[in-house]
């Protein structure tokens, strides 16, 4: 079954850290860029980060640069998002998504259900 | 780089609606445009990627296009169904970063 399942969310205090995981199955994980996208309550979608299939190429949005780090373990078919120095404005549902090809620019074609992260001030 | 979408559109069952996505600068045709559907209370799903490609399982009632003259992309949904009622987001790239439009709420009357 082709799917993405996120885990690791929860409630954390401002300034704290969380590590999100995304477990992939049903497709050749290493062949795809992967991305994290979030949605604050009542707001639109916001791109956070992506990583190449090999893990060599990464990029993060300015809003989280220096605080969030994306990584992956192809042997475990898992994607990660390390979030440090969390702020109230990071409160959102975080989705992992598969990029449609081995390049970063064709967009996502498969989404996880998302995991809630709540940062209390 | 900003992608601008109408706040809302509406249509009747069986009819056709088009949602636009206009780039603030440059040439929207330079990078691929994607369209994502988000039904209330659900995760987003992809209806169009790579300008016009549909993931398996997405009906051909959904089609994407690019209009270079107006620097815009469009999602056209034909044969509207009540299940199409959702928020729709366009997405493209600005260099090496992804950009989302603000979203359009589609109401099927």
Average pLDDT over residues B60-87: 96
CA distance A112 to B27: 31
Percentage of chain A modeled with pLDDT above 70:
100
Would the pLDDT of A105 be above 80?
yes
Measured CA to CA, the distance from residue A107 to residue B2 in angstroms comes to 17
Could you report the per-residue pLDDT of A48-98, keeping only the tens digit for each? 999 999 999 999 999 999 999 999 999 999 999 999 999 999 999 999 999
* C-alpha to C-alpha distance for B26 and B72, rounded to whole angstroms: 11
How many residues comprise chain B? 109
Count the Cβ atoms, other than its own, within 10 Å of residue A74.
Answer: 15
Answer yes or no: is pLDDT of B61 > 80: yes
To the nearest whole angstrom, how far is the Cα of A27 from the nearest Cα of chain B?
A: 14
Mean pLDDT of B51-71: 94
Task: Find the chain B residues whose C-beta atoms sit closer than 8 A to any C-beta of A.
Answer: 31-34, 36, 38, 43-46, 49-50, 53, 55, 89, 91, 93, 96-103
Instruction: State CA B2 to chain mean position distance.
Output: 15
- Give dist(CA A100, CA A105) in Å, integer: 9
| pLDDT (0 to 100) of residue B29 | 81
pLDDT of residue B69: 87
The strand pairing partners of B99, in sequence order, are B92
The pLDDT value recorded for residue B50 is 92
Q: How far is B56 from chain A (nearest CA, A)?
A: 9
Is residue B26's pLDDT more than 80?
Answer: no
Beta strand residue intervals within A8-121, DSSP E:
10-13, 18-25, 34-39, 45-51, 58-60, 68-73, 78-83, 92-99, 108-111, 115-120
| pLDDT the model gives residue B48 | 96
CB distance B32–A105 less than 8 Å? yes
Residues of A with CB under 8 A from a CB of B: 35, 37, 44-47, 50, 59, 61-62, 95, 100-101, 104-114
Q: List, in sequence order, the alpha helices (H) in B29-74.
A: none
């Amino acid at each position: 079954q082709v799917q993405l399942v996120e885990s690791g969310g929860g409630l954390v205090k401002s300034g704290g850290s969380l590590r999100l995981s995304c477990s992939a199955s049903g497709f050749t994980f290493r062949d795809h860029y992967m991305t994290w996208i979030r949605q604050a309550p009542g707001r639109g979608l916001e791109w956070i980060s992506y990583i190449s299939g090999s893990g060599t190429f990464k990029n993060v949005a300015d809003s989280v640069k220096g605080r969030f780090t994306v990584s992956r373990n192809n042997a475990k078919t898992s994607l990660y998002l390390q979030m440090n120095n969390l702020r109230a404005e990071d409160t959102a549902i975080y989705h992992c998504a598969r990029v449609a090809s081995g390049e970063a620019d064709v967009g996502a074609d498969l989404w996880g259900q998302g995991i809630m992260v709540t940062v209390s001030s | 780089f900003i992608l601008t979408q109408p706040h809302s559109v509406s249509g009747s069952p069986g009819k056709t609606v088009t949602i636009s996505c206009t780039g603030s600068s440059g040439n929207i045709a330079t990078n691929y445009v994607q369209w994502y559907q988000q039904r209330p209370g659900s995760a987003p799903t992809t209806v169009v990627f790579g300008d016009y490609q549909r993931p398996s399982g997405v009906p051909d009632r959904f089609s994407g296009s690019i209009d270079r003259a107006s620097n815009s992309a469009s999602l056209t949904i034909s044969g509207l169904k009540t299940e199409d009622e959702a928020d729709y987001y366009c997405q493209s790239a600005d260099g090496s970063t992804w950009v989302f439009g603000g979203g359009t709420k589609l109401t099927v009357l």
